[in-house]
Amino acid sequence: MQKDESVSVLGEPLDMCGDAPMTGFYRDSYCNTCDEDVGSHTVCVETSKLFLDYSKAKGNDLSTPAPQFGFAGLTPGDSWCLCAARWLEAYNDGAAPRVFLSRTHKRALDIIPLDILKQYATDLN
């Protein structure tokens, strides 16, 4: 798998999303991606109870531990590399979590316009 260049939506080197729990398509703490990442795990979010409940209702339970996969489950406030299409779906349904632009891979822009991401940014001055 050829990893894409690690560049954020801001055009700068991609910052680490989170390592507690370990996140990313590569489980390297970054929202790095490649052509094989069909889910585009490129949006670094700060999880919220609203979003976690929403995701569970949509069939992707991110809050329940799955020890067989070494996954402790997410809690509100955790950083996580989310699939761009799921973030956009949550946005359209009024449940999108906050976003770290410096930690969000530029490939997210293939799915989500930057002006929408900026509305949810935690790291804009």
Q: What is the CATH number of the domain that holds 24?
A: 3.30.56.110
Helix residue spans in 1-125 (DSSP H): 49-57, 84-92, 114-119
Q: What is the pLDDT of residue 125?
A: 64
The confidence score (pLDDT) of residue 69 equals 78
**How many domains are there within the chain?**
1
**Residue 38 and residue 83: Cα distance in Å, rounded?**
9
Find the domain containing 49 and state its range: 1-125
pTM over 0.85: yes
- 57 CB contacts (<8 Å, ≥6 apart)? none
Range 42-65 burial, b when 16+ CB lie within 10 A, else e:
bbbbbbbeebbebbeeeeeebbee
* pLDDT value for 86: 96
Q: What is the mean pLDDT of each run of 10 residues along the chain (125 residues)?
A: 93 95 92 95 97 96 88 93 97 98 98 97 85
Per-residue pLDDT, 72: 87
pLDDT score at 28: 93
**Length of the chain (residues):** 125
- pLDDT for the residue 20: 86
* Residue 105: predicted pLDDT: 98
